[in-house]
């Protein structure tokens, strides 16, 4: 038997990311051991350790065009764009903010620290143990940050967490659906069925899935297929919209990337809400 081929897609992804998030969790431990207790300062230092903070010229992408900025500015702009987009989707009745495939939880921390609703709960649903551990360590630094990390596998999604909340749910992804070649519409059905009202936000490299953009410069079918990346997110959302399960509010192709490839496309959708 070919051992590599016998490994499930989920296990393969976990093997790839476990050591990366383990290093970040260790970096959090080191900051805390040195006496740091401020969540914002710890998040910033860990983020810089991960992404770097040099001022070397680097090419990124904005609205499908190459932009040249200091490398740290590109990384910082991406970070701010994600957090502020999620925050903008929140409403007075937002009770829960969830990131699917949350990695080490830095995006959730940025949403909270950047002005996310203080009365809402936050949750990072993540496959890797080290990613969940990192978020748990970070959340412990601020008593006002009501955040938990739970195991999550796109191939067998457990969304029982949503049953404990009413009101408005914000769910977002950042290049995690990217890792799932064929995403199931059932995932979105479960989210919609378990929540009163939902706002969905996806930063995913799916611009090439828009008709006529298959050979895009910064996201393409060929690149996605060679990397094993997602091929059907926009199709699934379109099918759900055709059944009035959700409304796709915006698609902004190749909105940003801190690298000159695999640019994020921003996709947002909402549900009208369940009848009382």
Structural domains in the chain, sorted by start: 3-270 (3.40.50.150)
Q: Which helix (H) or strand (E) holds 247?
A: strand 247-257
47 vs 66: CA distance, rounded Å: 24
Task: Give the tens place of pLDDT for each residue, 7-27.
Answer: 667 778 788 899 999 999 999
3-state helix, strand, coil in the chain (%, to 5): 45, 25, 35
pTM value is: 0.94
Gyration radius from the chain CA atoms: 18
Give the distance, in angstroms, between the CA of residue 11 and the centroid of all CA atoms in the same chain. Answer: 19
Is residue 31 within 8 Å of residue 137, measured between CB atoms?
no
User: In the numeric block, which tokens belong to residue 5?
Assistant: 């081929």
pLDDT in tens, the chain (276 residues): 454 455 667 778 788 899 999 999 999 999 999 999 999 999 999 998 888 778 999 999 999 999 999 999 999 999 999 999 999 999 999 999 999 999 999 999 999 999 999 899 999 999 999 999 999 999 999 999 999 999 999 999 999 999 988 899 999 999 999 999 999 999 999 999 999 999 999 999 999 999 888 777 888 888 899 989 999 999 999 999 999 999 999 999 999 999 888 999 999 999 986 644
């Amino acid at each position: 038997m070919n051992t590599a081929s016998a490994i499930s897609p989920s296990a393969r992804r976990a093997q790839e990311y476990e050591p990366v998030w383990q290093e970040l969790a260790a970096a959090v431990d080191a900051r805390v051991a040195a006496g740091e207790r401020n969540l914002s300062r710890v998040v910033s230092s860990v983020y810089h350790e991960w992404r770097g903070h040099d001022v070397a010229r680097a090419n990124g992408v904005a609205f499908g065009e190459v932009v040249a900025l200091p490398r740290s500015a590109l990384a910082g702009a991406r970070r701010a764009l994600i957090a502020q987009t999620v925050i903008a989707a929140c409403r007075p009745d937002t009770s829960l903010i969830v990131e699917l495939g949350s990695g080490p939880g830095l995006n959730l921390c940025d949403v909270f620290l950047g002005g996310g609703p203080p009365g809402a709960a936050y949750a990072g649903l993540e496959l890797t143990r080290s990613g969940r551990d990192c978020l748990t360590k970070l959340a412990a630094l601020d008593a006002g940050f009501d955040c938990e990390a739970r195991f999550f596998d796109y191939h067998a999604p457990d969304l029982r967490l949503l049953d404990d909340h009413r009101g408005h749910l914000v769910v977002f992804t950042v290049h995690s659906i990217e890792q799932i070649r064929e995403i199931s519409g059932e995932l979105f059905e479960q989210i919609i069925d378990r929540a009163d009202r939902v706002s969905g936000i996806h930063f995913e490299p799916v611009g090439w899935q828009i008709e006529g953009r298959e050979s895009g410069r910064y996201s393409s079918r060929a690149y996605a297929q060679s990397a094993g990346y997602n091929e059907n997110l926009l199709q699934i959302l379109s099918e759900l919209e055709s059944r009035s399960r959700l409304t796709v509010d915006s698609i902004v192709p190749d909105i940003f990337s801190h690298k000159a490839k695999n640019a994020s496309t921003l996709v947002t959708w909402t549900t009208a809400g369940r009848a009382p």
